[in-house]
């Protein structure tokens, strides 16, 4: 769940080059806020990640803030975080040296993390998948259906749901592993830059900026809008996509107002459960967008 971006501009036509880790700005939230998970603290953030009952973010100085139904935040500096809620809320982050650190109180194994250095990760309900700095994958946590046993090869994006995991290979094709339910392992052919997962549906971004979704469509979560887009996120049954101008559209479930995206332009989005988070570009900042080999700076404000 949460947002996913491609890690290399060289192989793709459409791509946000400055991800949330490089873009500073205040964070906002909307949707379900029963535990305060949609109420980020004040300050500037480089990245935010939504869990079902809690959320986390990386502040300007690299430290982590946690809010909602989770106790405390780890010390130190981080480059990437993700959050989820199994039996209990938990989060995992990538420290400055590339190693993994988990906190919270998940089921056994969900934060028994592998060694090595990592560039990105994705958390499912009780398992995780990480992209090592060499592009290969490592999995941990509950592996009842093989969801924590990734295939070989190198990857640029990963996603995880309750019993399945997904990845975009370096050459742009999709892979899926875990429990074959709701057609989630029937990945569509084509060339992709990123993938995210909701509860019973998956959303992927093609290298031409178009969206593809598969799985169940009970509340319209597969009724994707036309593109092009540069970034995607998925809550339980709601999809989100950001255009190159920073505007965000949402579709699917709206029972908690999670599809009522506040007006404005954004630098990054994340979603989980029934809420979403976004980073608002700070004055003077911009997001670099690569389109057909041309680099543009959109969103600059004075």
Q: Return the CATH number at 159.
A: 2.130.10.30
The answer as to whether 231 is a domain residue is yes
pTM: 0.87
Which residue did the predictor score with more confidence, 22 or 270? 270
Q: How many residues does the chain have?
A: 302
- Asked if the structure places residue 232 within a domain, the reply is yes
Residue 248 within a domain: yes
264 located within any domain: yes
Q: For residue 276, what are the domain limits? A: 14-298
Q: Which residue in this structure is represented by tokens 């670099």?
A: 288
Q: What is the pLDDT of residue 106?
A: 67
Q: How far apart are CA 49 and CA 66, in angstroms?
A: 10
Q: Residues 211-260: pLDDT tens digits?
A: 999 999 999 999 999 989 999 999 999 999 999 999 999 999 999 999 99
Alpha carbons within 13 angstroms on the beta-carbon side of residue 292 total 1
pLDDT at 20 over 60: no
What is the residue-wise DSSP string for 40-107?
A: PPSS-EEEEEE-SSEEEEEETTS-EEEEESS----SS-EEEEEEEESSSEEEEEEETTS-EEEEE--S
Q: Are 217 and 201 in contact (CB under 8 A)?
A: yes
Radius of gyration of the chain (CA): 17
Note whether residue 3 is domain-resident.
Answer: no
Whole-number average pLDDT of the chain: 87
Confidence of residue 92 (pLDDT cuts 50, 70, 90): very high
Tally of domains within the chain: 1
Cα separations in angstroms, 46 against 23, 140, 156, 269, 293: 6, 26, 20, 11, 25
In a domain, 1, yes or no: no
Render pLDDT for 21-62 as a digit per residue (tens, 0 to 9).
Answer: 447 999 999 999 999 999 999 999 999 999 999 999 999 999
Cβ-contact 20, 279 below 8 angstroms: yes
| Residue at 92 is within a domain | yes
Residue 274 lies in a domain: yes
């Amino acid at each position: 769940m949460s947002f996913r971006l491609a890690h290399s501009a060289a192989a793709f036509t459409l791509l946000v080059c400055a991800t949330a880790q490089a873009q500073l700005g205040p964070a906002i939230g909307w949707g379900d806020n029963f535990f305060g998970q949609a109420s980020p603290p004040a300050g500037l953030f480089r990245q935010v990640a939504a869990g079902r009952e809690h959320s986390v973010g990386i502040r300007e100085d690299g430290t982590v803030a946690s809010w909602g139904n989770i106790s405390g935040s780890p010390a130190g500096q981080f480059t990437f975080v993700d959050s989820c809620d199994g039996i209990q809320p938990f989060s995992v982050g990538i420290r400055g040296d590339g190693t993994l650190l988990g906190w919270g109180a998940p089921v056994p194994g969900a934060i028994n993390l592998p060694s090595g250095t990592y560039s990105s990760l994705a958390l499912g309900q009780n398992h995780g998948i990480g992209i090592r700095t060499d592009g290969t994958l490592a999995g941990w946590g509950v592996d009842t259906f093989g969801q924590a046993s990734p295939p070989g090869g190198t990857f640029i994006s990963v996603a995880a749901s309750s019993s399945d995991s997904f990845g975009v290979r370096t050459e742009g094709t999709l892979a899926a592993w875990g429990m074959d339910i709701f057609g989630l392992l029937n990945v569509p052919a084509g060339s992709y830059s990123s993938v995210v997962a909701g509860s019973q549906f998956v959303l992927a971004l093609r290298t031409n900026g178009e969206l593809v979704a598969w799985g169940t469509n009970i509340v319209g979560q597969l009724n994707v809008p036309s593109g092009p887009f540069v970034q995607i996120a998925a809550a339980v049954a709601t999809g989100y996509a950001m255009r190159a101008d920073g505007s965000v559209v949402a579709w699917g479930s709206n029972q908690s107002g999670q599809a009522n995206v506040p007006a404005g332009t954004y630098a990054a989005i994340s979603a989980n459960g029934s809420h979403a988070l976004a980073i608002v570009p700070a004055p003077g900042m911009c997001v670099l967008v690569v389109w057909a080999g041309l680099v543009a700076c959109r969103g600059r404000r004075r």
